[in-house]
Structure 1
């Protein structure tokens, strides 16, 4: 990004539709900085038209593109001394590969850990003394963790299990390793194990799945950044939501934190280990706080209304954070004042703000976010229900170019945080077991009824749309609710659940076993009830499907099975296949996909 050129020049911008300008506008992620070299940073940007990694020397201001691959790169990390950038190399988005290493100043890429075969990534931790910890996942081995102690010698396996597991964090002195695991067979609720790096011996266990009827999860948030400090920041669900506590696996102590905020709470350390940056998410909006550990004082960090996508405390005590709202594009700000990292080139045009709606559903009140087209009167509008993926995710008051494109074309956009979404408590997130997809559609259906009865949505022009899990719910919805929707637009969906299970990556098989209560052979009736292909003959509306040829999450063959069934009965449908994985990191490819979706909807809605 040293040239600072955007993919759209100033003279061209006037001729480019506003919705395309949002996709093309240069963006940056929150910069990650090296622990021992804070002036060296790493971030992701789409400045060249493809999302790639960039090294940034904050002292000199020099920025350098690190990776340059046809389908983009977003997985990378700095070594603690800032001397190298590690990045994950897969093949055209298939997520199966090895870690590479490149000098911070530039140079040849080399395989970072010799002797480890390609795998799906399952976490990475790098120590200040050169220690390397690599998590791997394969169909044959399950989950394994390998260590190169002090960065010297061959990798040594110190953990293995058939169930999903991953690297959590390495203590600052590289003596302890925290691993998240699901050895109990519940892939939605992890337990923690701390190992000695020297010999792989177990130091301590933390397992909230034992001794009770409730399924509670734990998450590694990070070891203290102070040498010799064995405190580990942990996320837990003991009070029905995500919140942090401090666990010292060596001393055997657990310290509750007096953070009395509604909704989910996460945290990260200040560099001196005396305080925490608290991220608070509640009802689709986010904010930041500072928590003093000794005094338990909680002080608000002022941020604009909207969503904070990430935050990091710098050595000088300032906090840098990535902020946006549905109306305003993302920007990296600092509590010290000003914009931290402002990419050159045309800025993304703003969009319209979201309205908050609460609708009574069969499982409780459902939260939805609504955007209305400007200057289009009071409605009813043609309406797109844009269903989020995950399912453990939630739509928020954050900038999103896809929904904004629909609004620009005169559509209202409704996004539903159905049961299964994060951000509304553990019970809400865990509600979809054994009736996968059907529960979410009950909530989406309730919001649909509100949208029509309130006069927002035209019942003759209702589009059900989504990507990944949202694509799955789209195909399932037009099959199980055939009278409710006018069109279906599904991106990288699960379409045939049994075939998807057979072909998907191992970590997702573990999640499916948790959601359904077993494999397709053990509970075939549950997979059949939740599989879109079961209802394909009931589909009565035109369907648009896009799929990545190298997708390990929603593999292509199960999509082809569904499409073949549509074609066999002469159903109106269109399919777009592209050479990438679970989505694309190439801006022009993403614009092409949205353009095809909009064109399909306009042709079939009239």
Structure 2
């Protein structure tokens, strides 16, 4: 194989851009990928000056700017373990400050900064449960606890003036991830007093998006699902009144992202079968306007992390929409829409834009008739079936959007077809679809994967003898599970940080993950271990006939290393062809060099598989001493 595909990795310079929330300068905190890891810069939009952020600031994708724009706030942990403390790190690289010095290590599940004053809120998860904290970003006072519960609660939000905070709670629905938005006071005379909770009943979640950017405006932008699909709502939490956008003429989710600094406009994205269309809503008049823009994705939803989106379009200080835009074949670009003349112009574009292959959206019918969205693309010039990579996203409640994907372009450049399926569990396809994996972990997902494979073969895209499955996290889990339960469909699996043995993993998971999986399984492993055993790839190693490659982290508290090692040993004992490669770190890697090395390794292994050669070069090795579960 040639290495011409490497140009697609070189092209990806910016991963995301998140606007600072302070009332002063118009600043964007930008995450870039570099050869040795992701890094941060701060872009002063008005002056068009960019400066690097110095110092150790943790995973750049989770960082936010302080209100004055002089520091970044982020969780600092032990080698990617996601258990640590929130720190304030000066942009110029000065001495950082631990903002929660008296707390035990916790997982960060939400952070937001007030527009005025030196205040922020964070939602933390530790062994004692889910909590919401108010912190002084200058370290002037100790953190104040505003909320605590043993039921899932996260997604911290704070009002522009710092008087109110919100957190998404499940106390009304314990054990089910269907939230209500709860607003609390942060003032000294009533810290943590509940002002009001917005619930649409036990079936319909409500999630906080952002308080009004206008100080003193007591309204919270939320996402509701009364119709079964996401819709925006502006909620006046002091009197309980609300303005809903029902948009009955639109199929699919309408996702609220942000509102303008004067609180006159709300930026939305309508997602219909995976395709994004940007809208702007004026809550006071009810006017809904379509933004004219190029095809592609304009946000990517996250779940149970520091932010609700990996990256998302938003408003600039000038009140105009700032559209973060990308496609499978186009790296991240920033567009500015002028509302006055409805024009969209680029603000910055990637310096490298290698010609790639666009992927198209298709609807596949699963075994029970459920429509499932699939992205698919053929290699250039290929008319007949080709060897194929089927990509499975993680989460499970994440989603594959029309986002620049160097891995996809690399495979396509090497003559492979590439496809990515949004199986049941994915976001932005409605509540029923998102919850479609609940209590039957792995079952519906495998049905959707099998249907996608059959469609790719039927359409003449995939060579049925040369289909490989790959994914990270829950996508890695489904890759391993597919090899054990759908052995006739795949020629090999390439799994990153996978879940392989639910029972062995449970004790090593961070507390946030244990709570989530008890909810999704609707069971506790101590009371009903068989449910967890039945869902685990380790239970099906005797059925695996294709080779398996696993890359996983030593300090991962989501899919811990010990359970991966147990799976690999069991598969090896059953006569399977399995290779495990350990890297020092947690659940994700941020290095372009490591991604390039992974791509080379996968291409090498798939070439061997297509020539009938084994992948394993020796016995499975355990993780190094000091890894999670091997302390």
Equivalent in the alignment of 1:7: none
How many pairs were matched up? 584
Structure 1 segment 377-416 matched on structure 2, within 5 A: 378-416=383-421
Among 246, 250, 255, the alignment partner of 1:266 is: 255
C-alpha separation in 1, matches of 2:371 and 2:332? 30
3-state DSSP of counterpart to 1:273: coil
Among 2, 15, 27, the alignment partner of 2:14 is: 27
3-state DSSP of counterpart to 1:208: coil
3-state DSSP of counterpart to 2:598: helix
Equivalent in the alignment of 1:242: 230
Contact 1:393/1:422 (<8 A) preserved: yes
Q: Return the offset for 1:149.
A: 6.6
C-alpha separation in 2, matches of 1:269 and 1:407? 39
Q: Return the offset for 1:116.
A: 3.3
Change (3 A) 1:258 1:294: farther
Change (3 A) 1:147 1:328: closer
Contact 2:99/2:142 (<8 A) preserved: no
C-alpha separation in 2, matches of 1:354 and 1:415? 9
Among 300, 314, 323, the alignment partner of 1:312 is: 314
C-alpha separation in 2, matches of 1:357 and 1:167? 33
Once the two structures are overlaid, the 10-residue window that deviates more, 65-74 or 218-227, is 65-74
Contact 1:487/1:541 (<8 A) preserved: yes
3-state DSSP of counterpart to 2:330: coil
Deviation string, structure 1 residues 24-74 (Cα, Å, up to 9, x no partner): 332242241343123333111124642122122334433222145598532
3-state DSSP of counterpart to 1:173: coil
2:573 is the counterpart of 1:585: no
Among 198, 220, 223, the alignment partner of 2:211 is: 223
Equivalent in the alignment of 2:182: 193
Q: Return the offset for 1:150.
A: 9.2
Contact 2:112/2:120 (<8 A) preserved: yes
C-alpha separation in 2, matches of 1:297 and 1:203? 30
Change (3 A) 1:335 1:69: same
Q: Return the offset for 1:85.
A: 2.1
Once the two structures are overlaid, the 10-residue window that deviates more, 186-195 or 243-252, is 186-195
Equivalent in the alignment of 1:340: 347
Contact 1:320/1:332 (<8 A) preserved: yes
Q: Return the offset for 1:454.
A: 2.8
C-alpha separation in 2, matches of 1:122 and 1:29? 19
Query: TM-score, normalising length from structure 2?
Result: 0.88
Equivalent in the alignment of 2:170: 182
Structure 1 segment 426-575 matched on structure 2, within 5 A: 426-575=431-580
Contact 2:322/2:334 (<8 A) preserved: yes
Contact 1:71/1:586 (<8 A) preserved: no
Q: Return the offset for 1:579.
A: 0.7
Gap runs ≥5 in structure 1: 1-14
2:377 is the counterpart of 1:371: yes
Contact 1:516/1:523 (<8 A) preserved: no
Change (3 A) 1:360 1:126: closer
Change (3 A) 1:149 1:196: farther
Equivalent in the alignment of 1:301: 291
Contact 1:116/1:155 (<8 A) preserved: no
Contact 2:19/2:28 (<8 A) preserved: yes
Contact 1:27/1:47 (<8 A) preserved: no
Contact 1:247/1:255 (<8 A) preserved: yes
C-alpha separation in 1, matches of 2:2 and 2:396? 34
Contact 2:479/2:493 (<8 A) preserved: yes
3-state DSSP of counterpart to 1:471: helix
3-state DSSP of counterpart to 2:420: strand
For the aligned residues, what is the CA RMSD? 2.2
Gap runs ≥5 in structure 2: 300-311, 339-343, 612-631
Equivalent in the alignment of 1:90: 77
Among 156, 165, 188, the alignment partner of 1:168 is: 156
Among 66, 69, 72, the alignment partner of 1:79 is: 66
Change (3 A) 1:498 1:150: closer
3-state DSSP of counterpart to 1:320: strand
Equivalent in the alignment of 2:626: none
Change (3 A) 1:106 1:62: farther
Equivalent in the alignment of 1:101: 88
C-alpha separation in 2, matches of 1:327 and 1:534? 39
Among 331, 355, 358, the alignment partner of 1:329 is: 331
Query: TM-score, normalising length from structure 1?
Result: 0.92
Q: Return the offset for 1:159.
A: 1.4
Contact 1:84/1:103 (<8 A) preserved: yes
C-alpha separation in 2, matches of 1:208 and 1:298? 23
Q: Return the offset for 1:251.
A: 0.9
Contact 1:193/1:205 (<8 A) preserved: yes
2:156 is the counterpart of 1:154: no
Contact 1:36/1:82 (<8 A) preserved: no
C-alpha separation in 2, matches of 1:273 and 1:443? 41
3-state DSSP of counterpart to 2:142: coil
Once the two structures are overlaid, the 10-residue window that deviates more, 589-598 or 394-403, is 394-403
